[in-house]
Amino acid sequence: MVTFDSDGRPGRRAFLAGTAGSFAALAGCTGILQSSDDGAPSGGGGSTTGGGGPTSDGGGTDDGTTTTPISGPLVRASDETTDYGIDLAGNPLFGSADAPVDMYYWTDYQCPFCRRFEQNTLPKLLKNHVRSGVVRIVVLEYPNIGARSKTAAKMAKCVWRQVKDDDPSAFKRWHATMFDEQGKPNSGWAKKANLLDITESVEGVDADAVETCLSENAKAVKESVAADSQAGDDKGVSATPSFIFDDPTSDDLAPMIKGAQPYPRFESVIERVNS
């Protein structure tokens, strides 16, 4: 069911207690909704509100250092395995390859709290921290609500395969469109046919090529989704959205935020990790 999750488990490093604030009543999606994909949903969906907070411009940090703003496309591909043990080959990056802070973002396209984060907090993060060159966001799949969550996750992998070389920004358009069109969890909106119909409306994404990928690369795509989920499990992820912040050059503790938390909480964690 859709619940408020407040637990946290240690990953490679113990999570930084208190860095992201007190984890009381965190708004996140956990478990599998107890309804068939064709039946009545048992969780909320549609438009959600909340979060937000003040924004600030600039690419400086609190220790006086500066970073280089992004030039070129916001979305990019990489074949590296990060110091935190995440294989980036099948996952889009938002931000500079040289950003000092990695933000690992596990998501489920059926999760209404992920939609809340996407619409309320992500734009501020992109403006104030990603475009300034401080943070790069690694988008990872964690389909934990139901079978159609896995359908959407596999489609995301195929979209990325299609666009990453010639038009990586098309993935961001597709990703945002999926959350804009999100229906109630397990209500049937995330069936393959409907997702392909939505895909056809996204500039730069070939829905036919995506459908072909789902068929011809089924095993590889499934394994890529499973690898994202396993990486999340290994790091203590149990809800969507979940975020881990890492400075690859530091052995300090890596903090986690669970749920669609307000923007100031993200800003506080980023500033501390990058200090």
pLDDT surpasses 70 at 53: no
Of the pLDDT bands very low, low, confident and very high (cuts 50, 70, 90), residue 83 is confident
- The domains of the chain, with CATH numbers, are 75-273 (3.40.30.10)
Q: For residue 240, which amino acid is it? A: T
Question: How much is the pLDDT for 254?
Answer: 86
- CA proximity to 243, closest of 136, 100, 170, 159: 136
DSSP 70: P
Sign of CA dihedral 228, 146, 113, 164: positive
Each residue of 132-144: pLDDT tens digit? 999 999 999 999 9
Residue 113: is it exposed, middle or buried by C-beta count within 10 angstroms (0-12/13-18/19+)?
buried
- By the 8 A CB rule, do 214 and 221 touch? yes
The whole-chain average pLDDT of the chain stands at 81
Could you tell me where the DSSP H helices lie in 46-118?
A: 112-116
Total-model pTM = 0.79
Cβ proximity of 234 and 104 under 8 Å: no
Closest CA to 75 of 178, 150, 159: 159
